[in-house]
Chain A
Amino acid sequence: MLIVTDSLKKKPLAGALVTGENEEEAVFLLEELKKWLPSGVTFMTIDFSARLEAAVNRVFPNVLVQKCVFHAIQLLTRGLIKEFTKIKKEHLLNHIKEWKALRRYTLSLEKGEFTAELSPLQFNDVELAKEIYVKLMYCASLHDPQQIEQTLLSLFSTPLFDNWEGKRVFASKYEAIFAKKNLKYSEKGIKYIVPMIYKGFRAAIREIRKKVEEKKSHFDTVKYLVLMNPVNMKPYHQRKLRKYLKEFPWLRPYRKLLVTFYYQFRLPPEKRVSLSFLSRLISDASHTWLKAAVQTLIENEENVFRYQCVPEKFPKVKFSKSIKVVNESVNKLVNQLHQTQCGMRTLKNIRMKVSNRLNCPIIISPALVEIVK
Protein backbone atom coordinates (compact mmCIF):
# COMPACT_ATOMS: atom_id res chain seq x y z
CA MET A 1 0.00 0.00 0.00
CA LEU A 2 1.31 3.42 -0.94
CA ILE A 3 0.10 6.43 1.01
CA VAL A 4 0.60 10.09 0.18
CA THR A 5 0.45 12.63 3.00
CA ASP A 6 0.36 16.41 3.01
CA SER A 7 3.56 17.13 4.96
CA LEU A 8 2.51 20.53 6.25
CA LYS A 9 -1.11 19.67 7.11
CA LYS A 10 0.02 16.29 8.45
CA LYS A 11 -2.98 14.46 7.04
CA PRO A 12 -3.18 11.66 4.50
CA LEU A 13 -4.34 12.79 1.06
CA ALA A 14 -4.79 9.54 -0.85
CA GLY A 15 -3.55 6.00 -1.01
CA ALA A 16 -3.34 3.11 -3.40
CA LEU A 17 -3.51 -0.62 -2.98
CA VAL A 18 -0.74 -1.90 -5.21
CA THR A 19 1.01 -5.15 -6.08
CA GLY A 20 4.26 -3.97 -4.49
CA GLU A 21 6.46 -0.97 -3.82
CA ASN A 22 7.81 -0.81 -7.37
CA GLU A 23 8.37 2.02 -9.81
CA GLU A 24 5.39 1.28 -12.04
CA GLU A 25 2.90 1.21 -9.17
CA ALA A 26 4.33 4.37 -7.63
CA VAL A 27 4.10 6.08 -11.01
CA PHE A 28 0.43 5.01 -11.22
CA LEU A 29 -0.40 6.67 -7.91
CA LEU A 30 1.64 9.81 -8.60
CA GLU A 31 0.09 10.24 -12.07
CA GLU A 32 -3.38 9.99 -10.55
CA LEU A 33 -2.38 12.46 -7.89
CA LYS A 34 -0.97 14.89 -10.45
CA LYS A 35 -4.33 14.92 -12.27
CA TRP A 36 -6.32 15.20 -9.06
CA LEU A 37 -4.47 17.81 -7.01
CA PRO A 38 -5.57 21.42 -7.48
CA SER A 39 -2.00 22.79 -7.48
CA GLY A 40 1.47 21.52 -8.31
CA VAL A 41 3.78 19.56 -6.04
CA THR A 42 6.92 21.43 -5.05
CA PHE A 43 8.55 19.29 -2.37
CA MET A 44 8.43 15.54 -1.86
CA THR A 45 9.66 13.56 1.16
CA ILE A 46 10.43 9.88 0.57
CA ASP A 47 12.46 7.14 2.21
CA PHE A 48 15.63 5.66 0.71
CA SER A 49 13.79 3.44 -1.77
CA ALA A 50 15.41 3.87 -5.19
CA ARG A 51 12.17 2.72 -6.89
CA LEU A 52 10.11 5.45 -5.25
CA GLU A 53 12.75 8.03 -6.13
CA ALA A 54 12.75 6.91 -9.77
CA ALA A 55 8.93 7.17 -9.88
CA VAL A 56 8.98 10.66 -8.33
CA ASN A 57 11.59 11.82 -10.85
CA ARG A 58 9.49 10.41 -13.70
CA VAL A 59 6.22 12.06 -12.71
CA PHE A 60 7.50 15.23 -11.02
CA PRO A 61 10.90 15.91 -12.62
CA ASN A 62 11.25 19.37 -11.08
CA VAL A 63 10.20 18.54 -7.54
CA LEU A 64 12.69 18.91 -4.67
CA VAL A 65 13.26 15.49 -3.17
CA GLN A 66 13.91 15.13 0.56
CA LYS A 67 15.20 11.78 1.84
CA CYS A 68 13.57 11.12 5.20
CA VAL A 69 15.81 12.07 8.15
CA PHE A 70 14.25 9.41 10.37
CA HIS A 71 15.10 6.74 7.79
CA ALA A 72 18.64 8.15 7.44
CA ILE A 73 19.23 7.79 11.18
CA GLN A 74 17.54 4.39 11.19
CA LEU A 75 19.77 3.24 8.34
CA LEU A 76 22.93 4.08 10.24
CA THR A 77 21.76 2.77 13.61
CA ARG A 78 20.58 -0.50 12.05
CA GLY A 79 23.98 -0.92 10.41
CA LEU A 80 25.67 -0.24 13.74
CA ILE A 81 23.41 -2.70 15.56
CA LYS A 82 24.44 -5.35 13.04
CA GLU A 83 28.08 -4.41 13.58
CA PHE A 84 27.74 -4.57 17.38
CA THR A 85 25.95 -7.92 17.16
CA LYS A 86 28.82 -9.23 15.06
CA ILE A 87 31.34 -7.95 17.60
CA LYS A 88 29.31 -9.45 20.45
CA LYS A 89 29.26 -12.83 18.76
CA GLU A 90 32.96 -12.78 17.98
CA HIS A 91 34.17 -11.58 21.37
CA LEU A 92 31.55 -12.52 23.94
CA LEU A 93 29.23 -15.27 22.70
CA ASN A 94 32.09 -17.34 21.29
CA HIS A 95 34.01 -16.81 24.53
CA ILE A 96 31.07 -18.10 26.60
CA LYS A 97 30.68 -20.99 24.18
CA GLU A 98 34.33 -21.98 24.65
CA TRP A 99 34.01 -21.95 28.45
CA LYS A 100 30.96 -24.20 28.18
CA ALA A 101 32.77 -26.52 25.78
CA LEU A 102 35.69 -26.79 28.21
CA ARG A 103 33.30 -27.68 31.04
CA ARG A 104 31.65 -30.42 28.95
CA TYR A 105 35.09 -31.69 27.93
CA THR A 106 36.25 -32.01 31.56
CA LEU A 107 33.06 -33.80 32.60
CA SER A 108 33.24 -36.35 29.83
CA LEU A 109 36.93 -36.99 30.52
CA GLU A 110 36.18 -37.69 34.18
CA LYS A 111 33.35 -40.04 33.27
CA GLY A 112 35.79 -41.90 31.04
CA GLU A 113 33.64 -41.27 27.96
CA PHE A 114 35.19 -41.01 24.52
CA THR A 115 35.64 -37.34 23.74
CA ALA A 116 36.96 -35.60 20.69
CA GLU A 117 39.78 -33.17 21.40
CA LEU A 118 38.62 -29.56 21.78
CA SER A 119 38.87 -27.65 18.54
CA PRO A 120 41.62 -24.95 18.57
CA LEU A 121 40.65 -22.48 21.25
CA GLN A 122 40.25 -18.87 20.20
CA PHE A 123 40.65 -17.29 23.64
CA ASN A 124 43.89 -17.37 25.61
CA ASP A 125 42.27 -17.60 29.05
CA VAL A 126 40.31 -20.71 28.03
CA GLU A 127 43.49 -22.20 26.58
CA LEU A 128 45.31 -21.49 29.87
CA ALA A 129 42.49 -23.07 31.89
CA LYS A 130 42.65 -26.16 29.70
CA GLU A 131 46.40 -26.42 30.24
CA ILE A 132 45.90 -26.26 34.01
CA TYR A 133 43.20 -28.91 33.82
CA VAL A 134 45.52 -31.23 31.89
CA LYS A 135 48.18 -30.75 34.56
CA LEU A 136 45.63 -31.41 37.32
CA MET A 137 44.66 -34.63 35.56
CA TYR A 138 48.28 -35.67 35.35
CA CYS A 139 48.72 -35.10 39.10
CA ALA A 140 45.56 -37.04 39.90
CA SER A 141 46.70 -39.97 37.76
CA LEU A 142 49.75 -40.64 40.00
CA HIS A 143 49.48 -43.64 42.32
CA ASP A 144 51.07 -42.46 45.53
CA PRO A 145 48.85 -40.02 47.55
CA GLN A 146 51.89 -38.20 48.93
CA GLN A 147 53.32 -37.80 45.45
CA ILE A 148 49.93 -36.38 44.29
CA GLU A 149 50.03 -33.83 47.07
CA GLN A 150 53.63 -32.81 46.29
CA THR A 151 52.98 -32.46 42.54
CA LEU A 152 49.83 -30.46 43.15
CA LEU A 153 51.63 -28.12 45.53
CA SER A 154 54.43 -27.60 43.04
CA LEU A 155 51.83 -26.91 40.31
CA PHE A 156 50.19 -24.24 42.47
CA SER A 157 53.54 -22.42 42.74
CA THR A 158 54.20 -22.33 38.98
CA PRO A 159 53.81 -19.01 37.08
CA LEU A 160 51.26 -20.79 34.85
CA PHE A 161 48.90 -21.29 37.80
CA ASP A 162 49.79 -17.91 39.24
CA ASN A 163 48.65 -16.15 36.07
CA TRP A 164 45.34 -17.99 35.98
CA GLU A 165 42.26 -15.83 36.58
CA GLY A 166 40.44 -18.65 38.39
CA LYS A 167 43.27 -19.15 40.87
CA ARG A 168 41.51 -17.47 43.80
CA VAL A 169 38.24 -19.42 43.50
CA PHE A 170 40.08 -22.67 42.92
CA ALA A 171 42.34 -22.10 45.93
CA SER A 172 39.39 -21.43 48.23
CA LYS A 173 37.63 -24.59 47.02
CA TYR A 174 40.82 -26.60 47.46
CA GLU A 175 41.29 -25.36 51.03
CA ALA A 176 37.65 -26.12 51.82
CA ILE A 177 38.22 -29.81 50.94
CA PHE A 178 40.56 -30.18 53.89
CA ALA A 179 39.05 -27.63 56.25
CA LYS A 180 35.40 -28.64 56.10
CA LYS A 181 35.56 -32.33 55.24
CA ASN A 182 38.74 -32.96 57.23
CA LEU A 183 40.15 -35.14 54.45
CA LYS A 184 43.81 -36.19 54.19
CA TYR A 185 46.03 -37.46 51.41
CA SER A 186 45.73 -41.20 52.02
CA GLU A 187 44.70 -44.23 49.97
CA LYS A 188 41.13 -43.81 51.21
CA GLY A 189 41.04 -39.99 51.17
CA ILE A 190 42.31 -39.66 47.62
CA LYS A 191 39.06 -41.19 46.29
CA TYR A 192 37.18 -38.18 47.66
CA ILE A 193 39.82 -35.51 47.15
CA VAL A 194 40.39 -35.96 43.40
CA PRO A 195 36.73 -35.51 42.31
CA MET A 196 36.50 -32.48 44.57
CA ILE A 197 39.59 -30.94 42.96
CA TYR A 198 37.96 -31.33 39.57
CA LYS A 199 34.77 -29.80 40.97
CA GLY A 200 36.78 -26.87 42.30
CA PHE A 201 38.30 -26.35 38.87
CA ARG A 202 34.84 -26.24 37.31
CA ALA A 203 33.65 -23.80 39.97
CA ALA A 204 36.58 -21.56 39.05
CA ILE A 205 35.83 -21.63 35.31
CA ARG A 206 32.13 -21.06 36.04
CA GLU A 207 33.03 -17.87 37.90
CA ILE A 208 35.09 -16.67 34.95
CA ARG A 209 32.25 -17.53 32.55
CA LYS A 210 29.77 -15.64 34.71
CA LYS A 211 31.94 -12.55 34.44
CA VAL A 212 31.91 -12.84 30.65
CA GLU A 213 28.12 -13.33 30.72
CA GLU A 214 27.74 -10.23 32.85
CA LYS A 215 29.90 -8.33 30.41
CA LYS A 216 27.66 -9.55 27.60
CA SER A 217 24.54 -8.27 29.37
CA HIS A 218 26.25 -4.90 29.94
CA PHE A 219 27.12 -4.81 26.27
CA ASP A 220 23.48 -5.42 25.34
CA THR A 221 22.53 -2.33 27.35
CA VAL A 222 25.38 -0.11 26.24
CA LYS A 223 24.89 -0.77 22.55
CA TYR A 224 21.49 0.97 22.67
CA LEU A 225 22.85 3.81 24.80
CA VAL A 226 25.66 4.38 22.32
CA LEU A 227 23.11 4.68 19.52
CA MET A 228 20.88 7.18 21.35
CA ASN A 229 20.50 10.72 20.14
CA PRO A 230 22.10 12.98 22.83
CA VAL A 231 19.04 15.24 22.64
CA ASN A 232 16.77 12.41 23.79
CA MET A 233 19.03 11.26 26.61
CA LYS A 234 17.97 11.67 30.21
CA PRO A 235 20.62 12.22 32.93
CA TYR A 236 20.39 8.56 34.01
CA HIS A 237 21.07 7.48 30.40
CA GLN A 238 24.18 9.65 30.38
CA ARG A 239 25.36 8.28 33.73
CA LYS A 240 24.89 4.71 32.54
CA LEU A 241 26.65 5.40 29.25
CA ARG A 242 29.64 6.97 31.02
CA LYS A 243 29.85 3.96 33.33
CA TYR A 244 29.68 1.39 30.56
CA LEU A 245 32.06 3.24 28.25
CA LYS A 246 34.71 2.70 30.91
CA GLU A 247 34.06 -1.03 30.57
CA PHE A 248 34.03 -0.92 26.76
CA PRO A 249 36.46 1.88 25.85
CA TRP A 250 36.65 0.73 22.21
CA LEU A 251 33.02 1.93 21.79
CA ARG A 252 34.08 5.57 22.33
CA PRO A 253 35.04 6.27 18.68
CA TYR A 254 31.65 4.92 17.55
CA ARG A 255 29.84 7.16 20.03
CA LYS A 256 31.89 10.18 19.08
CA LEU A 257 31.13 9.79 15.37
CA LEU A 258 27.47 9.14 16.05
CA VAL A 259 27.14 12.27 18.20
CA THR A 260 28.77 14.28 15.39
CA PHE A 261 26.29 12.70 12.95
CA TYR A 262 23.27 13.64 15.11
CA TYR A 263 24.70 17.13 15.56
CA GLN A 264 24.70 17.77 11.80
CA PHE A 265 20.88 17.81 11.78
CA ARG A 266 20.84 20.74 14.20
CA LEU A 267 23.46 22.84 12.46
CA PRO A 268 22.76 25.54 9.87
CA PRO A 269 23.85 24.54 6.33
CA GLU A 270 26.96 26.74 6.37
CA LYS A 271 28.31 25.10 9.52
CA ARG A 272 27.46 21.52 8.55
CA VAL A 273 30.30 19.19 7.54
CA SER A 274 30.28 16.48 4.89
CA LEU A 275 29.03 13.08 6.00
CA SER A 276 32.22 11.50 4.65
CA PHE A 277 33.50 11.40 8.25
CA LEU A 278 31.20 8.40 8.68
CA SER A 279 33.58 6.30 6.59
CA ARG A 280 35.78 6.18 9.69
CA LEU A 281 33.16 3.85 11.17
CA ILE A 282 33.90 1.11 8.69
CA SER A 283 36.82 -1.19 8.06
CA ASP A 284 37.29 -4.22 5.80
CA ALA A 285 35.93 -6.48 8.51
CA SER A 286 32.78 -4.38 9.14
CA HIS A 287 29.31 -5.80 8.66
CA THR A 288 28.00 -5.38 5.11
CA TRP A 289 24.89 -3.53 6.39
CA LEU A 290 27.04 -0.89 8.04
CA LYS A 291 29.18 -0.48 4.94
CA ALA A 292 26.08 -0.12 2.76
CA ALA A 293 24.46 2.31 5.20
CA VAL A 294 27.48 4.60 5.33
CA GLN A 295 27.87 4.52 1.55
CA THR A 296 24.16 5.31 1.01
CA LEU A 297 24.26 8.21 3.46
CA ILE A 298 27.33 9.73 1.86
CA GLU A 299 25.80 9.37 -1.61
CA ASN A 300 22.45 10.88 -0.55
CA GLU A 301 23.81 13.58 1.73
CA GLU A 302 22.40 16.42 -0.35
CA ASN A 303 18.89 14.93 -0.33
CA VAL A 304 18.99 14.17 3.39
CA PHE A 305 19.71 17.81 4.26
CA ARG A 306 17.42 19.26 1.59
CA TYR A 307 15.01 20.54 4.25
CA GLN A 308 17.58 23.17 5.21
CA CYS A 309 16.89 25.03 1.98
CA VAL A 310 13.13 25.28 2.65
CA PRO A 311 13.17 28.63 4.56
CA GLU A 312 15.24 30.15 1.78
CA LYS A 313 13.29 28.76 -1.20
CA PHE A 314 9.82 28.96 0.33
CA PRO A 315 9.94 31.97 2.65
CA LYS A 316 6.16 31.99 3.05
CA VAL A 317 6.04 28.40 4.27
CA LYS A 318 6.14 27.95 7.99
CA PHE A 319 8.87 25.37 8.59
CA SER A 320 7.65 22.18 10.18
CA LYS A 321 9.55 19.11 11.31
CA SER A 322 7.16 16.99 9.28
CA ILE A 323 8.83 18.22 6.08
CA LYS A 324 11.99 16.27 6.81
CA VAL A 325 10.38 12.98 7.80
CA VAL A 326 7.93 10.62 6.13
CA ASN A 327 4.64 10.44 8.01
CA GLU A 328 5.08 7.08 9.73
CA SER A 329 2.05 7.56 11.98
CA VAL A 330 -0.19 6.75 9.02
CA ASN A 331 1.58 3.43 8.57
CA LYS A 332 1.09 2.83 12.26
CA LEU A 333 -2.66 3.29 11.88
CA VAL A 334 -2.73 0.83 8.97
CA ASN A 335 -0.72 -1.66 11.01
CA GLN A 336 -3.11 -1.32 13.96
CA LEU A 337 -6.03 -1.83 11.62
CA HIS A 338 -4.43 -4.92 10.15
CA GLN A 339 -3.94 -6.37 13.62
CA THR A 340 -7.34 -5.63 15.10
CA GLN A 341 -9.45 -6.42 12.07
CA CYS A 342 -8.15 -10.01 12.06
CA GLY A 343 -6.66 -9.77 8.58
CA MET A 344 -8.08 -7.95 5.64
CA ARG A 345 -8.92 -10.54 3.09
CA THR A 346 -10.61 -8.83 0.17
CA LEU A 347 -9.76 -5.71 -1.79
CA LYS A 348 -13.19 -4.24 -1.06
CA ASN A 349 -12.74 -4.77 2.66
CA ILE A 350 -9.23 -3.31 2.77
CA ARG A 351 -10.26 -0.27 0.75
CA MET A 352 -13.32 0.34 2.94
CA LYS A 353 -11.49 0.00 6.24
CA VAL A 354 -8.32 1.92 5.34
CA SER A 355 -10.20 4.66 3.54
CA ASN A 356 -12.51 5.27 6.51
CA ARG A 357 -9.76 4.99 9.09
CA LEU A 358 -7.41 7.41 7.31
CA ASN A 359 -10.26 9.57 6.08
CA CYS A 360 -8.87 9.76 2.57
CA PRO A 361 -9.68 8.10 -0.77
CA ILE A 362 -7.97 4.80 -1.54
CA ILE A 363 -7.70 3.61 -5.12
CA ILE A 364 -6.72 0.20 -6.43
CA SER A 365 -4.08 -0.27 -9.09
CA PRO A 366 -5.31 -1.95 -12.29
CA ALA A 367 -2.42 -4.43 -12.03
CA LEU A 368 -3.75 -5.61 -8.67
CA VAL A 369 -7.31 -5.83 -9.96
CA GLU A 370 -6.02 -8.02 -12.80
CA ILE A 371 -4.21 -10.33 -10.37
CA VAL A 372 -7.31 -10.70 -8.20
CA LYS A 373 -9.49 -11.50 -11.22
Chain B
Amino acid sequence: MKELKEPEIEVEIREHSDADFFPEKCPNCKERAIKRLTYKIRELQDLGTPLICRRIHYERVYFKCKKCGETFSIEHPLIPVGSTYMLGVIKYAVVRVLKKGDSIRRVTQDLNELHLVNVSQNTVQRWINEHGEKDTISTDLSEEDPPDDFSGFLSLDGTFKSVKVKKNDQKQGP
Protein backbone atom coordinates (compact mmCIF):
# COMPACT_ATOMS: atom_id res chain seq x y z
CA MET B 1 0.00 0.00 0.00
CA LYS B 2 1.17 3.46 -0.79
CA GLU B 3 1.85 5.63 2.19
CA LEU B 4 -0.18 8.77 2.22
CA LYS B 5 2.00 11.84 2.31
CA GLU B 6 1.24 14.46 4.90
CA PRO B 7 0.02 17.38 2.77
CA GLU B 8 2.08 20.51 3.04
CA ILE B 9 0.61 23.71 4.34
CA GLU B 10 0.41 26.40 1.74
CA VAL B 11 0.99 30.01 2.80
CA GLU B 12 -1.20 32.48 1.00
CA ILE B 13 -0.04 36.07 1.28
CA ARG B 14 -2.16 39.01 0.23
CA GLU B 15 -0.82 42.52 0.08
CA HIS B 16 -2.60 45.68 0.99
CA SER B 17 -1.17 49.14 0.90
CA ASP B 18 -2.30 52.58 1.90
CA ALA B 19 -0.81 53.73 -1.39
CA ASP B 20 -3.82 52.16 -3.13
CA PHE B 21 -5.90 54.84 -1.47
CA PHE B 22 -3.58 57.75 -2.16
CA PRO B 23 -5.05 60.85 -0.41
CA GLU B 24 -6.33 63.60 -2.66
CA LYS B 25 -5.49 66.48 -0.33
CA CYS B 26 -3.75 67.30 2.90
CA PRO B 27 -6.11 67.00 5.93
CA ASN B 28 -4.50 70.13 7.40
CA CYS B 29 -4.25 72.71 4.57
CA LYS B 30 -6.29 70.93 1.86
CA GLU B 31 -3.36 71.26 -0.56
CA ARG B 32 -3.30 68.66 -3.34
CA ALA B 33 0.48 68.41 -3.54
CA ILE B 34 1.27 65.40 -1.39
CA LYS B 35 4.24 63.14 -1.43
CA ARG B 36 4.88 59.71 0.01
CA LEU B 37 7.20 60.05 3.01
CA THR B 38 7.88 56.62 4.49
CA TYR B 39 6.25 53.24 5.12
CA LYS B 40 6.08 50.39 7.61
CA ILE B 41 5.16 46.76 6.83
CA ARG B 42 2.81 45.02 9.25
CA GLU B 43 1.73 41.37 9.10
CA LEU B 44 -1.85 40.47 9.91
CA GLN B 45 -3.41 37.04 10.31
CA ASP B 46 -6.56 36.04 8.44
CA LEU B 47 -8.82 32.98 8.66
CA GLY B 48 -7.23 30.12 6.79
CA THR B 49 -8.13 26.49 6.25
CA PRO B 50 -6.36 23.42 7.67
CA LEU B 51 -4.06 23.50 4.61
CA ILE B 52 -3.91 27.19 3.76
CA CYS B 53 -2.32 29.69 6.09
CA ARG B 54 -3.50 33.19 5.20
CA ARG B 55 -1.40 36.21 6.01
CA ILE B 56 -1.81 39.84 5.03
CA HIS B 57 1.17 42.07 4.33
CA TYR B 58 0.01 45.54 4.97
CA GLU B 59 2.06 48.52 3.95
CA ARG B 60 1.26 51.44 6.21
CA VAL B 61 2.30 54.55 4.34
CA TYR B 62 2.97 57.97 5.84
CA PHE B 63 2.41 60.99 3.59
CA LYS B 64 3.77 64.52 3.73
CA CYS B 65 2.18 67.70 2.48
CA LYS B 66 4.50 69.60 0.21
CA LYS B 67 3.04 72.90 1.29
CA CYS B 68 2.59 72.83 5.08
CA GLY B 69 4.93 69.92 5.79
CA GLU B 70 2.26 68.03 7.81
CA THR B 71 2.92 64.28 8.10
CA PHE B 72 -0.20 62.11 8.09
CA SER B 73 -1.54 58.65 7.33
CA ILE B 74 -4.87 57.30 6.19
CA GLU B 75 -7.24 54.67 7.60
CA HIS B 76 -7.30 51.62 5.34
CA PRO B 77 -10.92 50.43 4.86
CA LEU B 78 -10.02 46.72 5.17
CA ILE B 79 -7.39 46.81 7.88
CA PRO B 80 -8.35 47.38 11.52
CA VAL B 81 -6.26 50.03 13.27
CA GLY B 82 -3.54 48.66 15.51
CA SER B 83 -4.70 45.03 15.23
CA THR B 84 -2.67 42.04 14.09
CA TYR B 85 -5.82 40.11 13.16
CA MET B 86 -8.27 40.72 10.33
CA LEU B 87 -11.85 41.64 11.28
CA GLY B 88 -13.10 38.26 10.01
CA VAL B 89 -11.06 36.43 12.65
CA ILE B 90 -12.54 38.52 15.45
CA LYS B 91 -16.05 38.22 14.06
CA TYR B 92 -15.67 34.43 13.76
CA ALA B 93 -14.61 34.09 17.41
CA VAL B 94 -17.31 36.43 18.69
CA VAL B 95 -20.11 34.69 16.79
CA ARG B 96 -19.02 31.25 17.88
CA VAL B 97 -18.72 32.13 21.56
CA LEU B 98 -21.60 34.55 22.01
CA LYS B 99 -24.14 33.39 19.44
CA LYS B 100 -23.42 29.69 19.09
CA GLY B 101 -22.49 29.11 22.74
CA ASP B 102 -19.10 27.47 22.12
CA SER B 103 -16.40 27.75 24.75
CA ILE B 104 -13.50 30.19 24.40
CA ARG B 105 -10.99 27.38 24.80
CA ARG B 106 -12.59 25.40 21.99
CA VAL B 107 -12.76 28.38 19.64
CA THR B 108 -9.12 29.27 20.33
CA GLN B 109 -8.13 25.69 19.62
CA ASP B 110 -10.07 25.71 16.33
CA LEU B 111 -8.52 29.02 15.30
CA ASN B 112 -5.05 27.66 15.94
CA GLU B 113 -5.47 24.19 14.50
CA LEU B 114 -8.08 24.50 11.77
CA HIS B 115 -7.71 28.08 10.63
CA LEU B 116 -3.96 28.43 11.27
CA VAL B 117 -4.32 31.66 13.20
CA ASN B 118 -1.91 31.99 16.10
CA VAL B 119 -3.97 33.42 18.89
CA SER B 120 -4.10 32.99 22.65
CA GLN B 121 -7.14 32.37 24.85
CA ASN B 122 -6.60 35.70 26.57
CA THR B 123 -6.83 37.57 23.28
CA VAL B 124 -10.05 35.78 22.33
CA GLN B 125 -11.39 36.47 25.83
CA ARG B 126 -10.60 40.18 25.33
CA TRP B 127 -12.47 40.25 21.99
CA ILE B 128 -15.48 38.57 23.59
CA ASN B 129 -15.55 40.96 26.53
CA GLU B 130 -15.35 43.97 24.23
CA HIS B 131 -18.01 42.80 21.79
CA GLY B 132 -20.32 41.33 24.44
CA GLU B 133 -20.24 44.53 26.49
CA LYS B 134 -19.27 42.60 29.56
CA ASP B 135 -19.13 45.54 31.93
CA THR B 136 -22.74 46.57 31.39
CA ILE B 137 -24.98 45.68 34.31
CA SER B 138 -28.52 46.98 34.40
CA THR B 139 -31.30 46.46 36.89
CA ASP B 140 -34.07 47.74 34.63
CA LEU B 141 -35.10 47.53 31.00
CA SER B 142 -35.40 51.29 30.41
CA GLU B 143 -32.29 51.44 28.24
CA GLU B 144 -33.44 48.64 25.96
CA ASP B 145 -35.70 49.06 22.96
CA PRO B 146 -39.09 47.44 23.51
CA PRO B 147 -40.11 44.72 21.04
CA ASP B 148 -42.09 46.06 18.06
CA ASP B 149 -44.24 43.03 17.42
CA PHE B 150 -45.27 41.95 20.92
CA SER B 151 -48.27 39.61 20.73
CA GLY B 152 -49.61 39.97 24.28
CA PHE B 153 -49.07 36.25 24.92
CA LEU B 154 -46.25 35.55 27.38
CA SER B 155 -44.70 32.53 28.96
CA LEU B 156 -42.67 32.80 32.14
CA ASP B 157 -40.33 30.12 33.38
CA GLY B 158 -37.45 29.83 35.76
CA THR B 159 -34.29 27.79 35.48
CA PHE B 160 -31.88 27.20 38.28
CA LYS B 161 -28.15 27.07 37.65
CA SER B 162 -25.58 26.62 40.36
CA VAL B 163 -22.96 29.32 40.03
CA LYS B 164 -19.47 28.74 41.37
CA VAL B 165 -16.95 31.38 42.24
CA LYS B 166 -13.36 31.16 41.02
CA LYS B 167 -11.26 28.80 43.07
CA ASN B 168 -8.86 31.45 44.35
CA ASP B 169 -11.15 34.42 44.29
CA GLN B 170 -14.10 34.10 46.66
CA LYS B 171 -15.11 37.75 46.19
CA GLN B 172 -15.73 37.34 42.48
CA GLY B 173 -19.42 36.46 42.34
CA PRO B 174 -22.37 34.47 43.64
A residues apposed to B, CB below 8 Å: 1-9, 13-14, 18, 20-21, 26, 29-30, 32-33, 35-47, 49, 52, 56, 68, 317, 322-323, 325-328, 330-331, 333-338, 340-353, 355-357, 359, 361, 363-366, 368-369, 371-372
A347 adjacent to B137 (CB under 8 Å) = yes
Q: Which residue of B lies closest to A365 (CB)?
A: B139
Tell me which residues from 104 to 138 in chain B have a Cβ below 8 Å from any Cβ of chain A: 104-106, 128-129, 132-138
**Chain B interface, >50% SS class:** loop
A336 touches B101 (CB 8 A): yes
The interface centre, meaning the residue of B98, B103, B104, B153 with most chain A CB atoms within 10 A of its CB, is B153
Distance in angstroms between the alpha carbons of A41 and B129 in the assembled complex: 35
Is residue B7 within 8 Å, beta carbon to beta carbon, of the partner chain?
Answer: no
Are the C-beta atoms of B102 and A26 separated by less than 8 Å? Answer: no
With a cutoff of 8 Å between Cβ atoms, the chain A residues found around residue B140 in the complex are 32, 35, 363
Identify the closest chain A residue to B153 (Cβ). Answer: A7
B144–A21 touching, CB < 8 Å: no
* Chain A nearest Cβ from B153, distance in angstroms: 4
Q: Are B163 and A364 in contact (CB under 8 A)?
A: no
Q: How far is the CB of A320 from chain B (nearest CB, A)?
A: 8
Name the residue of chain B whose CB is nearest to the CB of A66.
B155
- Contact of A2 with B161 in the complex, beta carbons under 8 Å: no
| B101 with A32: CB separation less than 8 A | no
Q: Can you show 12 pairs from A to B with CB atoms below 8 A apart?
A: A37-B147, A38-B148, A45-B155, A47-B157, A49-B158, A317-B153, A336-B101, A345-B166, A347-B174, A352-B136, A366-B139, A372-B174
Which residues in B have their C-beta under 8 angstroms from that of A323? 153
How far apart are the CA atoms of A37 and B138 in the complex, in Å?
A: 17
Known: A36-B146, A37-B146, A357-B99. 12 other contacts (CB 8 A): A7-B153, A7-B155, A8-B151, A21-B160, A36-B141, A42-B153, A45-B153, A338-B161, A349-B173, A353-B98, A363-B141, A368-B174
Q: Roughly how many angstroms separate A111 CA and B136 CA in the complex, as a whole number?
A: 75
Question: Per-position contact with A for B144-174: 1 when CB-CB < 8 Å, else 0?
Answer: 1011111111111111110111100000111
Q: Give bound CA distance, A349 to B163, whole Å.
A: 11
Interface residues on B, range: 35 or more
**Residue pair A43, B163 in contact (C-beta under 8 Å):** no
Closest 9 CB pairs of A and B: A356-B98, A45-B155, A21-B158, A8-B151, A346-B173, A7-B153, A352-B132, A36-B141, A42-B152
Given contacts A6-B147, A33-B141, A369-B139, A345 and B165 within 8 Å (CB-CB): yes
Q: How far is the CB of B135 from chain A (nearest CB, A)?
A: 6
Given A336-B101, A345-B165, A348-B135, A44–B173 Cβ distance below 8 Å? no
Contacts of B137 in A (CB 8 A): 347-348, 351, 364, 369
B161–A344 touching, CB < 8 Å: yes
Q: Return B151 CB to nearest CB of chain A, in Å.
A: 4
Q: Which of A9, A334, A343, A364 touches B164 (beta carbons < 8 Å)?
A: A343
Q: Which residue of B lies closest to A346 (CB)?
A: B173
**A331–B155 Cα gap in the complex (Å)?**
12
- Contact (A371, B158) CB under 8 Å given A38-B146, A323-B153, A361-B141: no
Which of B138, B158, B159 has the most A CB atoms < 10 Å from its CB?
Answer: B158
Q: How far is the CA of A84 from the CA of B32 in the complex (A)?
A: 89
| Contact residue among B101, B138, B165 (Cβ-Cβ distance under 8 Å from A337) | B101
Alpha-carbon distance A372/B133, docked complex (angstroms): 20
**Cβ contact within 8 Å between A361 and B155:** no
Smallest Cβ-Cβ distance to A343: which chain B residue: B164
